[in-house]
């Protein structure tokens, strides 16, 4: 949302509003303190950071209830410093700084249904209360929460008539992605990035008053920093695979403005003992096996992939458990993306393996390039109503 103005009137208006923002909320920070390429430090980097522009805590997982219902889940919390952001001439820090956002989704594989919700808060008088502690691992946006207690990650999310509460226990040490946890997106532009690649899950789902115990496995990604979007970062395809031989694979393609994988695409393989191997772009291949068009947005996504890592003798097929796992979050993070539960089959060396996965596809819908201020403030339903009245 960083903007340069060529129109003199817009430039003057932006300068005036920047001065107003300086008076009302204080000068904007550069959000760069010289530590952007410093390695990850744990447990400190599990907690929130005051100067990071963007940070997220991202959980995905697969569970089965005691009655045999198979579910996938996504629970993600974002914190965004808005010092450098604006909608047109309006500096966003006049409205919110920081801004808290969260997404929660349930894929009901058994019933073939996908449900999600998304929230944001600036901690204003009409907002849900939100917080991200810099001293311990504790996140909150309304009644959606995450915290650490005696080595367990405790998550809670709600969807209308559904309440999801689960305790996640890391089964392997955290994995530092990239180089000592520094993950470059382009020349000089990097985040800090680490993962818990295998966590046992145990909890309860309350559904219309009926409580069911659930067990399964989850994955957690933690990423934070201040980096600039470039022409080499127009979208990404991200994969997390948990295989039946107790190994894990994470790979991603960052797509450039031509839709091709950037040289900064990479990945991590974790063996059964928890040892991590960094993968560069040339170490793996992704082949798209099919396509799916969203009936909601018209966006066309890849659907089904073959992933090969020759140096590790991995040849794996990844297939969505439901086609439609698209989230329209233009009222919060301002993007439409596909994030879904998938299954894995294939080979590791001479052995057959299967497993479970989550896949995230961003940038196939380009509506974020024309962000709507009313959608961001009030949600897509009110924005459609506004456009029908005023054109």
Q: At 180, which CATH number?
A: 2.40.370.10
Prediction pTM value? 0.92
Give the 3-state secondary structure of residue 71: strand
pLDDT at 344 over 90: yes
pLDDT at 327 over 50: yes
Q: Which ranges of the chain would DSSP assign to H, the alpha helix?
A: 8-25, 373-378, 380-390
Stated as kind and residue range, the H or E segment containing 197 is strand 189-207
One domain, residues 3 and 22: yes
CA pair distance 109, 141, nearest whole angstrom: 27
One domain, residues 63 and 103: yes
One domain, residues 46 and 163: yes
Q: Which two tokens stand for residue 147?
A: 């915290």
Burial class of 19 by CB neighbour count within 10 A (0 to 12, 13 to 18, 19+): exposed
Burial 225-251 (b: 16+ CB within 10 A, else e): bbbeebebbbbbbbbbbbbeeebbbbb
Residue 2: which pLDDT band, with cuts at 50, 70 and 90? low
The tally of CA atoms less than 13 A away on the side-chain side of residue 261 is 19
pLDDT at 349 over 90: yes
Mean pLDDT (whole number) for 201-210: 93
φ, ψ at 266 (rounded to 5°): -160, -165
Q: How many domains, in total, are found in the chain?
A: 2
Residue 24: which pLDDT band, with cuts at 50, 70 and 90? confident
pLDDT at 374 over 90: no
Stated as kind and residue range, the H or E segment containing 235 is strand 235-243
Mean pLDDT (whole number) for 76-85: 95
Mean pLDDT (whole number) for 355-375: 84
Residue with more model confidence, 210 or 21:
210
Which among 214, 286, 233 is positioned nearest to 54, based on CA atoms?
233
One domain, residues 361 and 374: yes
One domain, residues 65 and 146: yes
CA pair distance 103, 117, nearest whole angstrom: 6
Residue 86: which pLDDT band, with cuts at 50, 70 and 90? confident
Place of tokens 């309860």: 204
One domain, residues 140 and 264: no
Domain limit, last residue, from 165, 195, 228: 228
One domain, residues 215 and 238: no
One domain, residues 51 and 150: yes
Residue with more model confidence, 94 or 231:
94
CA pair distance 287, 306, nearest whole angstrom: 5
pLDDT at 383 over 80: no
One domain, residues 131 and 238: no
pLDDT at 386 over 80: no
Domain limit, last residue, from 228, 245, 260: 228
Which among 151, 168, 175, 357 is positioned nearest to 271, based on CA atoms?
175
Residue 375: which pLDDT band, with cuts at 50, 70 and 90? low
One domain, residues 215 and 258: no
- What is the model's pLDDT at position 17? 85
Strands 182-186 and 189-207: what pairing? antiparallel
Tell me which residue range forms the domain holding 147: 1-26+33-228
Q: What is the pLDDT of residues 109-147, one digit of tens each?
A: 999 999 999 999 999 999 999 999 999 999 999 999 999
CA pair distance 335, 375, nearest whole angstrom: 11
Stated as kind and residue range, the H or E segment containing 361 is strand 351-362
Angle ∠(151,193,41) on CA atoms, nearest 5: 60
One domain, residues 205 and 63: yes
Q: pLDDT averaged over the chain?
A: 91
One domain, residues 113 and 211: yes
Domain limit, last residue, from 228, 245, 272: 228
Residue 377: which pLDDT band, with cuts at 50, 70 and 90? low
φ, ψ at 388 (rounded to 5°): -70, -30
- What is the model's pLDDT at position 372? 66
Give the 3-state secondary structure of residue 23: helix
């Amino acid at each position: 949302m960083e903007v340069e103005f060529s129109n003199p009137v817009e430039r003057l208006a932006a300068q005036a509003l920047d001065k107003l923002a300086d008076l009302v909320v204080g000068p904007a920070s550069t959000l760069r303190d010289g530590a952007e390429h410093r390695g990850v430090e744990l447990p400190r980097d599990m907690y929130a950071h005051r100067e990071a522009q963007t940070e997220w805590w991202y959980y995905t997982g697969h569970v089965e209830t005691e009655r045999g219902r198979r579910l996938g889940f996504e629970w993600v919390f974002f914190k965004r410093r808005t010092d450098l952001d604006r909608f047109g001439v309006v500096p966003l820090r006049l409205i919110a700084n920081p801004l808290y956002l969260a997404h929660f989704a349930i894929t009901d594989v058994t019933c073939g249904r996908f449900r999600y919700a998304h929230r944001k808060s600036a901690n204003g008088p009409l907002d849900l209360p939100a917080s991200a502690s810099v001293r311990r691992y504790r996140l909150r946006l309304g009644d959606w929460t995450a915290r650490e207690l005696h080595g367990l990650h405790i998550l809670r999310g709600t969807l209308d008539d559904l309440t999801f509460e689960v305790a996640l226990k890391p089964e392997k040490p955290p994995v530092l992605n990239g180089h000592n946890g520094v993950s470059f997106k382009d020349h000089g532009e990097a985040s800090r990035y680490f993962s818990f690649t295998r966590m046992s899950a145990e909890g309860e789902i309350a559904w219309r008053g009926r409580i069911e115990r659930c067990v399964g496995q989850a994955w957690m990604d933690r990423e934070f920093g201040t980096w600039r979007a470039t022409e080499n970062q127009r979208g990404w395809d991200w994969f997390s695979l948990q295989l039946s031989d107790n190994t894990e694979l994470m790979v991603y393609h960052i797509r450039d403005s031509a839709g091709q994988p950037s040289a900064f695409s990479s990945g991590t393989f974790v063996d059964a003992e928890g040892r991590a191997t960094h993968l560069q772009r040339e170490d793996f291949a992704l082949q798209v096996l099919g396509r799916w068009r969203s009936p909601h947005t018209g966006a066309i996504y890849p659907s089904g992939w073959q992933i090969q890592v020759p140096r590790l003798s991995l040849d794996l097929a990844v297939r969505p458990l439901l086609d439609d796992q698209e989230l329209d979050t233009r009222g919060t993070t301002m993007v439409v993306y596909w994030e879904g539960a998938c299954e894995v089959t294939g080979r590791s060396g001479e052995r057959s393996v299967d497993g479970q996965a989550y896949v995230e596809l961003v940038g196939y819908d380009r509506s974020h390039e024309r962000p709507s201020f009313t959608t961001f403030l009030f949600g897509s339903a009110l924005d459609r109503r506004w456009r029908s009245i005023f054109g």
